[in-house]
Each structure stands twice: as C-alpha cells, then as structure tokens.
Amino acid sequence: MSSVLQTVLDGRWAAVRDEVRAQMGEVQTDPSLPTEQYRAQIAGYVAELAKTGRPHQGFDPAYGGGGDVGGVVAAFQMLGHGDLSLLVKAGVQWGLFGGALQNLGTARHHDRYLRDMMDGTLLGCFAMTETGHGSDVQHLRTTATYDAATQEFVIDTPEPGARKDYIGGAARDARMAAVFAQLITGGTSHGVHCFLVPIRSDAGDALPGVTITDCGEKAGLNGVDNGRLVFDGVRVPREALLNRYADVAEDGTYSSSIENETRRFFTMLGTLVRGRISVAGGAGTATQKALTLAVRYGATRRQFSDPATGEEVVVLDYLAHQRKLLPALATSYALHFAQEDLVGRMHDLQKFSEGPLAGPSSDTAPVQDEQLQRDLETRAAGIKALGTWHATATIQACREAAGGAGYLSENLLPQLKADTDVFTTFEGDNTVLLQLVAKTLLSDYARKVGKLDLLGKVRFAADLVGGEVAERTGARSLLRRGDVRDRAHQRRLLVAREEHLLGSLARRMRAALKPGVDQFAIFNAAQDHLLEAARAHVDRIVFDAFADAVDRAPSTVRGLLELVLTLHGLSVLESRRAWFLEHGYLTVSGSKALASGVNELCAALRPHARDLVDGFGIPEQWLACPLLDGEQQLTTEAPAEEAPADLKAVG
C-alpha cells in the first residue's frame, strides 16, 4: 500500500522526485563539523547539484533551461528530506538570485549572466532584508542614485539600519548580489528596484566600497553562509538595473510600463513568489521526515505493561501518543496536496519566451493573468504561513514523542527542529503574510459588492443583517445537526467560518472609509480578526486540495486517504471548536463529537501509520540513525488490494 501512496503523493512530478532520490542517494553531510568546514561541504554539494542539470530546468529554454518551473520546485522540496542547509543554499542561488535575474531582468542580463548562474559558476545572493526593515520592503533605505554624467548608479547604505542583513551566501561564496534599493534620479525617488551589484573579486575579496561581515553561528542552517552587506559609493553601470518593469535612460529619464508606484512594486515582488512556495515545500518535507522518524520509533518503543498480558505496550498504541502524531500526520498530507496544487498553478502561469526577452515591456516576456497571479500570491502566502507553523509545532511534537532519544543530535530530530525554526520568519513573516491574505480577501470582497446593482446591494445588506440575527438567536440549525465526521459537513463548517469572519471583518473595516478617522487605529484594533479570517480561508483551501486529491486517488488507497482527510478535518475543527460554539455553529454534543471522532480516527489509522509515513518515499539513507536501529517489521499491515476492515467500519 505504501508504494501506491507514494505514487499519489509524488503526483505530477513523480519522475522528478525519483530522479532526485537517485541523485541525492550518496549525499552525506555533517552538521556537526566546524562551521567553515560545514559551509565548504554544502558549497561542494551545490556545485554537484549544478552538474546534474536539474537546477537548469526552471529557467528559460532560450538560454539552456528546461522551462519546468514546477519540476524544479518539486526537486527543491525533496532536498528537505536530506540536509536543509543544502536546500536553503540551493534556494538562494537558483530560487532567489536566479529568480530575480530571470523574472526582473531582460535580454541584456540574461545574455550575460543567466547561463553562468544556472551552471553555478556565478554564485549570487539576494540582498533585500535590512537591519531596520524586514517585512516592510517598500520602505527599504538603501539607495541607488543615478549619475547621468557617468551613466552609473551609486549604491549607498545611508544609515546603520539600512545594512543588508541575514543575506544567505554573502558571508563566503557569493560574487554578486541582487540588491533591492530606492531608485533615485534627478532628486526624485521612484521606489524600490533591483540592481545587480558585484560584491567580490574572483579571488574572494570584497570589492572597493563593499563591506562584508559574517552573521556567525545561528540556531540552525549553519551550512549557509549568512552575511551582512554595507555599500559606500559603489558604482554600477546603468545596465545593472533589472529593467523588466522600469528603466532609466542615459539622461536619467525614468520610465515604466506600470504608472502606479505601489502596483509596480507589488508586481515586481509577485514575480518572485517561487521562493515563498519553495519555503513552504521545504518545511513540508522536513516535517514528513520528522513524522517518519517519530512514527517508526513509536511503533517499536515499549513503555509500561498491559495488566492483562503482562507485556510492555508499544507507545504508538497509547491514545495520547496517537493524538500527538496522527492528526499532525493527517495535516501534513493535507498540506502536501495543497502545496502540489499551488506548484501546479504557478507552473501553469509561467510561460517562457521562445527567444531572448527584448525589453522591460516585451510581449515575449512571461505572460501572467493578473487575477490568477494575485490568487497565486495569496495562496502562496497563506500556505507558507500555515505550513511553516505546522512544521515548527509538529517537529517539536515528534521530538517529544521520541523522548530522550529525540534530544540526541545523532537521531536527526534536533537538527530538523533547529533548521526549520527560521522558516516561520524568512520569505515573509507568517503574521505579516496572513495580513496580506486578509487584505486581498477584503479587496476581492469589496469588488464583488461594488459590482452589484442597487437591488443586489439591498439584498446583500439584508443578508448581512440576517446573519447577525441568526447569530444572536442561534439559528444555525442545519450546521448544528450535521455529522462532524462527514466530509461534506466538515466543508460546510469550514466555509461558514470563512464567510462569517470575512463578512464581519468587512463590516468592521467599513468604519475606516469615513473621512477623518484614525485608519491605523481601526486596522490595529481588528488585527486579530484579520488573522483569523485569513487562517479560515487557508484552512478551507487546504481541505479542498486534499479532498480533490482523494477523489483522484486509486481505489486501493482511496478509503485510507478518505479517513486521513476526515481526521485532518476533525482536528482543524477541534482546534477551533470554541469559535464554532460561541457563534452557534456547534452544539455542546457536537463539540464533544469532534473529540471522540479524533480518538476514533486515531485508533482506525494506527495500524496504517507505517504505510502512511512510508508513502512519503524518503530514502532510508536519509533516515539512518540509532533511533530506528531497533525496528522490527510490523505484521498489522493491511493488504493493498482492498480497503481494510477497520477502515470500512469507521468510514
């Protein structure tokens, strides 16, 4: 059964995943090495990755790429089953630096740099974050001032808070940086743009005007050479501006195909969404590895005796242990399928030219429908937030589930915990990302209402009033009567929560439209509401992605996956049951049914826990550690050709 599950989980890019499993089979890194040696080891493996040609597949075929963006992200995710420093180092080179070069640059940049970047002979870094500005990219302080006399941009760090900070690759290996700075011409700032700035000589020395310092040891990911960059009058040619969306003429005249500065800024950032999607995927595969270790250990580790038999009990047979791991396993399945759906959407939106890109507004540049792109960015933000929070919580639970053994470095879990902790704050702080999701939902909501005619708006207002009355009177009879273990009913509850939170948030935010009000105070007072509305939206789209995958699955595993979906839905509802009770969507007995349902599903899925984690297809050499030395083959595995009896009974 596990092989069929692996086929389902591998999905559209199954061949790519198998290729990475084969290629990475011999990778053996050692995070316990001294920092410099570990960095050198990771850099060596990055060079080996480049030789495989796999990183090339995500770039323009006109320059030797493969045009398979989704395949590259799938391959990148697989590195999360191995060493996360290697994953991040590769992500900086081909995802961030390479993504900026490909998506923000034009022919003059691609002709000169793209092949070398793909081959790894030009190593780069992505210099966006500053000491004083992380999430607020629009107000970065680094400046790029155009000097018409020399036709150069002068890159400066005007204050300590403008220092580029935490930049992966900067401390040791990068020769060039994609630097985000305020573009200034003729004394006028035109907002944040991206520039290619050489930072090191071929010998590895910092170039004149560039100060490079090392961030030093971190809690994890010490194979990545994070550093800090300060610029003092560094001059780069006019052509260093990545000019797909804006350009500066020789005389300093600024032009852009997108007039609105804010829209231009978000359009530029939107093209870099691949990095955010990749982080979510890497967090997911790291979580799968932790769950595999904890479940397999829990299936052999024994504690305390059964009074009836006198034999010690396998810890995974205890309900408390099952609750610690199996709902998290179910949610990992859900997030995996949501991630696959997200990668597919990104891949289908990306279309490479048949020839070199001609300029900033070239018709041969990648074409993306604006609405679909905005939806992609919203999904990416939400799934990255929920996925990385899930990783942090689940890897901690796995560490606890392995007891003292889980605290030993040799058993891999501490390294997973340390390496993934930063995932919640890089490529976008999760709280900020959920606010972005909520703001987009509010904008879409406002557009929907704005398109209604007078009668439609009257009816819409009546529905809002009706919803408020229903809440006050507890008239949620349909939802209160449903079976919380039924997939359709679970979805109705998730949709009801999403719509309720968004509608009530919109009513609260209407006050901000009145003249003279303190808009920040209104927004700040509703921030908790914003975050809950965003989370409710993402909970629903994750559930839908899992449900779609179940419906497409082969009959041999569909029954099992249906129960995993049910457990995921129950655990999400259980985590929010106070809200459902407060707003009249659940009765007390319905709330209790959530808890008992989780317990029942944990018991039903317990015999299949090994199959479920084996379905992730993690090579044994990436799991090898003393924690699993005592494993014995379980004899409770159900035949793959039919749904097991216990699944039929619960289902």
Beta bridge partners of 254: 248
Q: If we measure between CA atoms, which residue out of 419, 361, 431, 356 comes closest to residue 391?
A: 419
Task: Name the residue with tokens 């969404």.
Answer: 273
Tokens of 410: 């040799």
Which 8-state DSSP code applies to residue 200?
Answer: B
**Mode of pairing for the β-strands spanning 143-147 and 176-185:** parallel
User: Do residues 122 and 114 lie in contact, with contact meaning Cβ atoms separated by under 8 Å?
Assistant: no
Amino acid 641: pLDDT: 38
**Within 10 Å of residue 344's Cβ, how many Cβ atoms?**
16
What are 198-223's pLDDT values in tens digits? 999 999 999 999 999 999 999 999 99
Which pLDDT band holds residue 356 (cuts at 50, 70, 90)? very low
What does the mean pLDDT of the chain come to?
Answer: 88
3-state helix, strand and coil shares in percent for the chain, rounded to the nearest 5: 60, 10, 30
User: How much of the chain, in percent, has pLDDT values that exceed 70?
Assistant: 89
Element spanning 312, H or E? strand 312-314
Torsion of CA 505, 567, 15, 412, to 10 degrees: 100
CATH, domain 431-614, list 3.40.50.300, 3.40.50.2300, 3.30.70.2860, 1.20.140.10: 1.20.140.10
Amino acid 86: pLDDT: 96
Which pLDDT band holds residue 483 (cuts at 50, 70, 90)? confident
Task: Name the residue with tokens 């008992």.
Answer: 596
Per mean pLDDT, which range of 148-162, 248-262, 294-308, 528-542 is the poorest?
Answer: 294-308
Question: Cα–Cα distances in Å, from 347 out to 13, 374, 483?
Answer: 11, 15, 38
- Please give the average per-residue pLDDT across 34-55, as a whole number: 95
Phi, psi (deg, nearest 5) at residue 647: -70, -40
Q: Choose the most confident range, by mean pLDDT, from 256-260, 413-417, 474-478, 644-648.
A: 413-417
Tokens of 5: 């599950």
Which pLDDT band holds residue 478 (cuts at 50, 70, 90)? low
Amino acid 470: pLDDT: 52
Question: Cα–Cα distances in Å, from 391 out to 58, 83, 281, 282?
Answer: 26, 15, 11, 10
- Please give the average per-residue pLDDT across 243-265, as a whole number: 92
Dist. CA 489–CA 595, nearest whole Å: 16
Which pLDDT band holds residue 648 (cuts at 50, 70, 90)? very low
Amino acid 117: pLDDT: 96
Which pLDDT band holds residue 238 (cuts at 50, 70, 90)? very high
- Please give the average per-residue pLDDT across 364-389, as a whole number: 82
- Please give the average per-residue pLDDT across 367-391, as a whole number: 88
Fold held by 125-259 = Butyryl-CoA Dehydrogenase, subunit A; domain 2 (2.40.110)
Dist. CA 7–CA 14, nearest whole Å: 7
Which pLDDT band holds residue 477 (cuts at 50, 70, 90)? low
The angle subtended at Cα 297 by Cα 292 and Cα 300, nearest 5°, is 135
Amino acid 366: pLDDT: 40
User: Which distant-in-sequence residues (6+ apart) come within 8 Å of 158 by Cβ?
Assistant: 141, 142, 143
- Please give the average per-residue pLDDT across 559-567, as a whole number: 97
Residue 433 pLDDT > 50, yes or no? yes
Question: Cα–Cα distances in Å, from 630 out to 298, 312, 313, 624, 627?
Answer: 11, 15, 15, 12, 7
Residue 79 pLDDT > 90, yes or no? yes
Amino acid 451: pLDDT: 56
Domain ranges of the chain: 125-259, 431-614
User: Do residues 535 and 431 lie in contact, with contact meaning Cβ atoms separated by under 8 Å?
Assistant: no
Q: If you write DSSP's letter for every residue of 336-391 in order, what string do you get?
A: HHHHHHHHHHHHHH----SS---STT-TTSPP--HHHHHHHHHHHHHHHHHHHHHH
Q: If we measure between CA atoms, which residue out of 57, 13, 70 comes closest to residue 376?
A: 70
Beta strands in 87-175 (DSSP E): 124-127, 143-147, 152-156, 164-167
Amino acid 475: pLDDT: 43
What are 242-252's pLDDT values in tens digits? 999 999 999 99
The angle subtended at Cα 398 by Cα 294 and Cα 217, nearest 5°, is 115
User: Which distant-in-sequence residues (6+ apart) come within 8 Å of 575 by Cβ?
Assistant: none
